[in-house]
Structure 1
């Protein structure tokens, strides 16, 4: 039984290294958006290259995050966590030194691999190390510090972009890793699941990632109308069908389809796809809108987006308590509608926009909607399956959210009619941004309708800290304990 006490020196070191590790991946998923205009200008990159700068990371992270958790269970969570930290730092160094957009995109894909290794292990190490009496408080502190990191991330990113330069958004991870990895090796006890003996579903992971990659490529490059794009789209769909077929037939699938027999679990994941597709598209375009159209600096744009994360950090626990009392159906119905209203209010944000009169009202409404839905969403996912499969359910939900953001960043500029050079023209970008916000709002309304018609009004009953206190806006939090007795 794990016996490390939170008040002990070892307990404090464990908390520090897990917070540092998760913060590396969490910060990179938020601060890069703020740096995109400067990256595009310095590397002479078009809009497609900026989309790939975001999506290359999301692609490998979403495709491999379930496999990353399985590797930790099999070979040791500390070992895989440290490998992920070192890998992530090496890829970050390559990002910071990238001479052109192609190298940057490739390095971002490698970063996603590191993120898939370290992200599941961060919380799992806390669950596996601390004494049961201290575990809840340790997870709460981990979630809280992670939320603070998410809140200050865009501010720090903007400061770095306007100061030392956008490359330091990535280079900052190197000293963090140099602190994190030695602490983990010295103070974190190794843990794993000794009963895990099944084979890894490498074929499933490859097919899933390939399907996402091909569909993403087809969406981003669709403006060219070439035969390669059409072939990629068809191949992507075929890879997706093959992925489902493989997962259905394998005795040890990465994503066992039987878990979707739970109507509640399936419904909440549909809501997740809608919600995080809208969030992914919004945060990708909003940072560009504030700089390209409004004319703010990267620091001003990053700081401007703080209210959403701050609201989630301050009030998510109350939202979770509310969902415990009234059930998830109302929060999951009303929350997306408020988010949709916030995105429509962003239509007021154009040239010479006022932060207090135009931007703040939109972000407060959007943040309120996020507060209402994120904690109940996580709690309902964990409550919709047997406790032994909570880790698997959380991993699937997290991967679904990241895949939704990936597809949104690829598809939204195409749907909104953004040309390759749109971000260089304030007028063209402003017009397309307005259309994109309407699309995002529509997707959120669909998510609300799905929740209203399919989610049962039963209390989710998840009182775990990771269900309550979380500041991430790009994906729901992960449950730390993996499924028992099997590879997931």
Structure 2
């Protein structure tokens, strides 16, 4: 393998900017679409079910393609494959913005997810490859900080464009930024060394099918427990087992499974799954508290996220310096501890809690994730042999996407279970059925009562009582849920403390 050229000076700075831009696009684009989906739906006139599918399609195809993107980067050059992803982001982004029919938009969103797999799967690997070992940790921290900072204002820009120029304008944010990424990448980023092994097509197809099936099943589970979603998840897990078996027996695996023998790698992977899980689930919980309990506009959460993400950007950069001073283990555990505190803060929420308190919890969730992500990235990439940098870099978002999808599904299922347990007790002896209570809640939040509901529609006094009692029950559920979910970062802290134990200095025992 040829010696890898390293970047210095202006090229180093612009490489960080280009890779950070690529990373930020993949994070912000799904939010832009989700925030403006109602306008898109009105413009193209499609059903709510299609809207739900569109909202998750890009994430699904990204997860399915990301390991293949990493493998192609190792084989054909990471810069070349990253640029291919940028071209795809421009082409499919423009196609979506000018889609004449929803079917065209579906094709565009699916293609955009595949393009994003190359951006997200290779940006970290490129930074790791083109910076010399002594500067790698700081470069990765700067890349993550740039990604967080550049992602903050894209959803707000998309919303502003929608309100002034229509929904098509918001979908042009991604291709415009991708074009800027392309210019910088072509000018300043060097090509990476290439591996000579064969492409493991069966393995890539198996893991793609596994990830897309599991994540789609988890997404379906967010609407409540159903057999179809569970069947999809079980099928995805079976395909995952088949992938592992194939990788262990093939001569040229897409992912060398020996990397999972590394305790450091597994500790980093666990920490990454933890912050993604809490990121996905916590955001749903924050939104539900604000909209349903407090009656606030959904935009309030977006406003709270702006300072939170800016602070998180600075925290990611600071974490790089902290790793150099205190070590990866200490910083990783500190980030997980921040996530733990943020989750425990939700126990104090009530109907009149100052918004600033929730803002602190939102900020801790973002900051904890940013602090964890820096040592997680450096640990994972230092565990990767040079010829597998792209694939190992892709493992990070693959696991992250699955954990991020698991968060809302599990938070919703556990939270609903806790709510119903508390609500049933309060309905006993009231003469109000659970179905009538659900109808009262649906009407209170802008819905239409179920015509097949059991019994007559509740009178206004009973309906007001149900809504009042439901608020109390949901607050109790949030308190208990936050305590239950706080176990996740607590366990991750223990895992990090055990698996990242300082290695003994064996040099003293080696004879001269």
d(CA) in 1 for partners of 2:337 and 2:480?
A: 13
Q: Indicate conservation of the 8 Å contact 1:30/1:150, yes or no.
A: no
Query: Which residue in the other structure is 2:174 paired with?
Result: 173
1:236–1:129 distance in 2 versus 1, CA, 3 Å: closer
Runs of 5+ in structure 2 lacking a partner? 418-437, 447-466, 505-512
Distance 2:90 2:400 in 1: 24
Distance 1:160 1:213, change over 3 A: same
Determine the structure 1 residue equivalent to 2:5: 2
- TM-superposition CA deviations, 1:423-463 (whole Å, max 9, x none): 99377899769847854663442232243143333389xxx
Q: Which residue of 1 aligns with 2:491?
A: 449
CA distance in 1, matches of 2:97, 2:443: 22
CA contact (8 A) 2:200 2:252 kept: yes
Give the match for residue 202 of structure 1: 201
Deviates more, 1:436-445 or 1:70-79: 436-445
* Aligned equivalents of 1:88, 1:370: Cα separation in 2: 26
Shift of 1:233: 4.0
Which runs of structure 2 are paired with 1:32-43 in the superposition (5 Å)? 32-35=33-36
Matched with 1:311 is 311
| Mapping of residues 226-265 of structure 1, within 5 Å | 229=229, 231-265=231-265
Q: Please provide the CA RMSD for this pair.
A: 4.4
Question: Deviation at 1:254?
Answer: 2.0
Cα distance in 2 for partners of 1:180, 1:328 equals 30
Query: Aligned in 2, Cα 1:343/1:133: closer, same or farther, shift over 3 Å?
Result: closer
Partner of 2:502: 458
Measured in 1, the distance between the counterparts of 2:488 and 2:396 equals 18
Describe the shift of the 1:112–1:353 C-alpha distance in structure 2 as closer, same or farther (beyond 3 A): farther
Residues 217-228 of structure 1 aligned to structure 2 (within 5 Å) = 217-221=216-220
- State the secondary structure of the residue aligned to 1:68: helix
Higher deviation after alignment, 142-151 or 236-245: 142-151
CA contact under 8 A between 1:93 and 1:174: conserved in structure 2?
Answer: yes
Distance 1:267 1:15 in 2: 26
With over 3 angstroms needed to count, the CA separation of the structure-2 counterparts of 1:148 and 1:228, relative to structure 1, is closer
With the length of structure 2 as denominator, give the TM-score of the two structures. 0.71
Deviation digits for residues 267-318 of structure 1 (CA, Å, limit 9, x no counterpart): 3322322321111222355456646665555654322112332222223344
State the shift of 1:251 in Å.
1.8
Distance 1:237 1:370, change over 3 A: closer
Question: Residue 282 in 1 paired to residue 315 in 2?
Answer: no
Q: Cα distance 1:103–1:285, how it changes in 2: closer, same or farther (>3 A)?
A: farther
Deviates more, 1:149-158 or 1:234-243: 149-158
Does residue 342 of the first structure (1) align with residue 384 of the second (2)? Answer: no
**Equivalenced residues, count:** 454
The verdict on how the C-alpha distance between 1:164 and 1:412 changes in structure 2, with shifts beyond 3 A counting, is: farther
Aligned position for 2:213: 214
1:185-242: CA deviation from partner (whole Å, max 9, x where unpaired): 5x35762434x22221222222222223323343444568877556534432321221
Relative CO higher for 1 or 2, CA cutoff 8 Å, sep ≥ 6? 1
Alignment check: 8 A CA contact 1:272 1:397 kept = yes
2:445 to 425, 428, 441: 425
Q: What SS class does the counterpart of residue 255 from structure 1 fall into? A: coil
Alignment check: 8 A CA contact 2:138 2:321 kept: no
Describe the shift of the 1:364–1:270 C-alpha distance in structure 2 as closer, same or farther (beyond 3 A).
closer
Contact 1:157 1:302 in 2 (8 A): no
SS of the counterpart of 1:305?
helix
User: What is the CA distance between 1:408 and its match in structure 2?
Assistant: 2.8
Whether the 8 Å CA contact 2:70–2:391 is kept in 1: the answer is: no
Contact 1:95 1:104 in 2 (8 A): yes
CA distance in 1, matches of 2:131, 2:503: 28
Partner of 2:85, secondary structure, is: helix
Q: Per the alignment, do residues 422 and 97 of structure 1 end up closer, same or farther by CA in structure 2, a change over 3 Å counting?
A: farther
Once residues 219 and 369 of structure 1 are traced to their aligned partners in structure 2, the CA distance between those partners, rounded to angstroms, is 24
Is the Cα–Cα contact under 8 Å of residues 126 and 139 in structure 1 kept in the other structure? yes
Equivalence for 2:378 = 379
Larger radius of gyration: 2
The question of whether the paired residues in 2 share the 8 Å contact of 1:270 and 1:450 is answered with yes
Distance 1:113 1:240 in 2: 20
Q: CA deviation at 1:259?
A: 0.8
Instruction: Give the direction of change, closer, same or farther, for the CA distance of 1:429–1:242 in structure 2 (3 Å limit).
Output: farther
Change (3 A) 1:395 1:284: same
Instruction: Indicate how the Cα distance of structure 1 residues 17 and 277 shifts in structure 2: closer, same or farther if over 3 A, else same.
Output: closer
CA distance in 2, matches of 1:439, 1:280: 14
TM-score, normalisation: structure 1: 0.74
Equivalent position of 1:96 in the other structure: 97
Contact 1:339–1:365 (8 Å) recurs in 2:
yes
